[in-house]
Amino acid sequence: MCNRMLAYKYREIEIKHLVSAAIFLKGIGGILFIFGSSLGAYLLIIHQLIAIPILYDFYNYDNEEKEFNQLFLKFTQNMALYGALLFFVGMKNSFPRRLHKKKVPKTKTG
């Protein structure tokens, strides 16, 4: 009996760490993404890759059930967000960094 309680407590602690890691990824990633950081987009991509299959398991339901339609709709919405994040990262990396222009000496008149 005591071993079961310890295993339950240990599993509870693991779940708390997973939830706090998910909150961290989504929170910090969202804040950085707002300011246009690629790191924020990468954090949100990692969060999406981990969370989507866990949260929206529509594949475990029959396609005529109410839950299937709800989960599938949320799944497709999150996949669209995932695609938008990939597009953002791709566009951010496709533009060259700011090039420094050489200063042209001004002609003196006089």
Global pTM?
Answer: 0.70
Residue type, 34: I
Cα angle 73, 75, 79; round to 5? 120
Residue length of the chain: 110
Say which amino acid occupies 52.
Answer: I
Cα–Cα distance measured from residue 18 to residue 24, given in angstroms and rounded to the nearest whole number? 10
Q: Which of the pair, 31 or 53, is modelled with greater confidence?
A: 31
Domains of the chain, by residue range, sit at: 2-93
Question: Would you state the pLDDT for residue 41?
Answer: 92
Query: What's the average model confidence in pLDDT over 33-46?
Result: 92
How large is the average pLDDT for residues 81-101?
Answer: 83
- pLDDT tens-digit readout, 55-70: 888 888 888 888 888 9
